[in-house]
Structure 1
Amino acid sequence: MKTFGNIIWFVFGGVLVAVEYVISSIGLMVTIVGIPFGLQSLKMAELALWPFGKKVVRSETTSGCLATLMNIIWFFIGGLPIALTHLLFGVLFCITIVGIPFGNQHFKLMKLAFTPFGRRIVDA
Structure 2
Amino acid sequence: VDGVTHVINFDLPNEPDSYVHRIGRTGRAGAIGAAISFCDIEEKAYLKDIEKTIRQSVPVFADHAFHCPVIASDPGTTRKKQGGGGGRGNRNGNGNGGAPTANKGAGDRNRKPHWKRTSRKAA
TM, length-normalised to structure 1: 0.28
Greater RCO, CA 8 A, separation 6+: 1
Structure with the higher helix share, 1 or 2: 1
Q: Which has the larger radius of gyration?
A: 2
TM, length-normalised to structure 2: 0.28
